[in-house]
Amino acid sequence: MLDLFETPSHYYIVIELCSGGDMYDYLERRDFKVSEKRAWELASQLAGAIFYLHDFNIVHRDLKLENVMMTDDTESSIPKVVDFGLSAMVD
């Protein structure tokens, strides 16, 4: 989330543009084949995101390929975890 605007009747959330689509589409465009190095990078970045959430006692509860957006369609695209509708705070 980049910014939040509020009016008496609406909330406006400004988020980063992720033109690479979701991770499923990103992998599908590559016939579900990525190098071992790239797979390690993606797994490491996702594990880091989950660790960050857990540090704040947040559980996502709906982590799947469709809930990970890619910043672009390049080999250096960064995954972003989205859709916190089922997430929860835990003690």
pLDDT band for position 1 (cuts 50, 70, 90): confident
How do residues 11-64 score in pLDDT, each as one tens digit? 999 999 999 999 999 999 999 999 999 999 999 999 999 999 999 999 999 999
Confidence of residue 79 (pLDDT cuts 50, 70, 90): very high
The residue annotated as part of the active site, out of 55, 62, 83, 91, is: 62
**What stretch of H or E contains 28?**
helix 23-28
* 62 is a catalytic site residue: yes
Identify which of 88, 39, 85, 38 has the alpha carbon closest to the alpha carbon of residue 66.
85
CA-based end-to-end distance of the chain: 24
Which domains occur in the chain, in start order? 20-89 (1.10.510.10)
pTM: 0.85
